[in-house]
Amino acid sequence: MPIGKRPTAARKRQSSGFTYVGLLIAIAIIGVALGAAGTVSYTAQRRENERELLFVGDQFRRAIGDFYEKAPGGLKRYPQKLDELLRDNRYPSVQRWLRKVYVDPLSGKKDWGLVEVPGVGIRGVYSKSDLKPVKTTNFPAIYQSFSGAKTYSDWKFVYVPGQGGAVPNATQSQGPTSTPRSR
């Protein structure tokens, strides 16, 4: 452009058009990047919720096992409701197998599905979520049945006598080489 001449209106429109197209491309790239970051964040949150579900479900299973195995007088039975795990009235003093009824990490509610046997009691719990699990393999031996589950509600945390999982009584022997530990 020669010195002293002003750009024509056509040239102004042409240069502002390139700026507009460049801005649209930049916004599209940022949108795709944010979408990818959101997907990664969502998956990371789901994995964390799965870890929490595995922990909480195992706590319920262990508490049900303790309730069953450590029955006073040897009369073993399952709890009739989850609140019995918070305060076991079968003992003269307060006995607690759980500190609280945990929240389902997937729903955020205390609304657990119960694995019940009519007339027998609650043998386990499960999440009522119909979401598809992210984790599908490499479960601990006791939870191998979770492999390939279609939904989280297929993950049933059930206490089965003789399968293990209940904490041994403090009065039971811990083996021939054990020695009492002081605290």
Q: What is the mean pLDDT of each run of 10 residues along the chain (183 residues)?
A: 58 64 83 72 86 96 94 89 92 90 93 93 95 90 92 95 56 33 34
pLDDT for 168: 39
pLDDT for 170: 33
Domain locations in the chain as residue ranges: 51-158
pLDDT for 85: 95
pLDDT for 7: 59
End-to-end Cα, the chain, rounded Å: 89
CB 77 within 8 A of CB 89: no
pTM: 0.69
Give strand pairing partners of 158: 124
Helices in 75-176 by DSSP H: which ranges?
none
pLDDT for 33: 74
